[in-house]
Amino acid sequence: MSIDIEILNGNAAWPAAEPLLNAVWPSEIKATRPWGEVTFAHADFRVLVEADDAGLVCHVGLYRRHATFNGRAAHVGGIGGVATRADHRRRGLATIALNAAIQTFRHEGSLGFALLFCEAATVPFYQARGWHLFEGEILAEQPAGHGRFDVLVPMVFDLVQKPRKGVIDLRGLPW
């Protein structure tokens, strides 16, 4: 299998990403998850991994947010929508896409840390790739208002800052 990795504008790449994301999280599955009712932000950029013989096989959404950490401005790189097509898992594709995402954040230079939200079962997967649990509080916007976001586990990847505890206010929708 030969693969091609692209990083594209989030809205422009949505038509390509949508079928994969709907296949990985069909609405009936989403409805059973604690995050099924959450309103999420749209990705600013998307890492797309395409296989020559199978089309899009892996996706990672990238977000940039002027958030706050313990009340101070924090420029955060977000990662969400990490998904590999079921028949292409355990071949290192998500690892490649996550590395491409972190490289992109590093090149940007202005980001303090990267942040993602995952289910508890996926924590070891990210820990094995250099991510750390954030054991503080996350605040975010939802249509009902601004408040605590605790239906998923927050994890950070250190860039300049190494947040582990405290309060991160996303000052917008979660991802």
Q: Which residue reads 């355990």 in tokens?
A: 90
Tell me how far apart the alpha carbons of residues 37 and 39 are, in angstroms, rounded to a whole number: 7
Neighbours of 30 (CB within 10 A): 13
Total interface residues for ligand COA by CB under 6 A: 16
Site string for ligand COA, 21-40 (x = CB under 6 A): ---x----------------
CB of 1 to ligand COA, least distance (A): 10
CB of 11 to ligand COA, least distance (A): 21
Tell me how far apart the alpha carbons of residues 64 and 147 are, in angstroms, rounded to a whole number: 20
Nearer to ligand COA by C-beta: 68 or 132? 132
From 115, 152, 121, select the one nearest 38 (Cα to Cα).
Answer: 152
Site string for ligand COA, 73-92 (x = CB under 6 A): ---------xxx----xxxx
Pull the structure tokens for residue 10: 């989030």
The residues of the shown chain that bind ligand COA, judged by CB under 6 A, are 24, 58, 82-84, 89-95, 118, 122, 125, 128
